[in-house]
Amino acid sequence: MAVDIIIYHNPACGTSRNALAMIRNAGIEPHVIEYLKTPPSRALLVNLIARAGMTARDLLRQKDTPYAALGLDDATLSDDALVDAMMAHPILINRPLVVSPLGVKLCRPSEAVLDLLPTRQRSAFAKEDGEPVVDADGQRVA
């Protein structure tokens, strides 16, 4: 079955790498967009935020970004201002953001991607740190 999945990915991020590996463990080869090299357009980013049922602040990454230096902790900033900051500094876009026929979701923790996959995991899966996520029968570990 051909499934169209898109992952906005940062290969330097373990959470993003784990989500990508789980997509592939389901037998799906996603469209991988390294958003730091190829950021989404403003219109697409606004669309993805809306489709995910989030606010711009929900998608805003604080850790290892210019978040504090830019004063983005100011609660009075509008979504438009936060999107402007993400467009100017794509590192502020949290990851991985995954788009599938089942929806759009910020997959933090990485196993949240399982909710977006229309096919089962093909084998056991553990995160890079060894934490088991899927058992040998392809079922999510509780």
The answer on pLDDT for 2 being more than 80 is no
Structure confidence by residue, pLDDT tens digits, 20-76: 999 999 999 999 999 999 999 999 999 999 999 999 999 999 999 999 999 999 999
C-alpha dihedral, 17 to 95 to 118 to 121, nearest 10° = 20
Beta bridge partners of 99: 6, 104
Task: Please provide the average confidence, as pLDDT, over all residues in the chain.
Answer: 96
Report in angstroms the alpha-carbon separations of 138 from 71, 101, 131. Answer: 44, 21, 15
The answer on pLDDT for 12 being more than 70 is yes
CA distance 101 to 65: 31
Mean pLDDT of the 83-102 span: 98
CA 73 to mean position of chain CA atoms: 22
Catalytic residues: 13
| Structure confidence at residue 142 (pLDDT) | 80
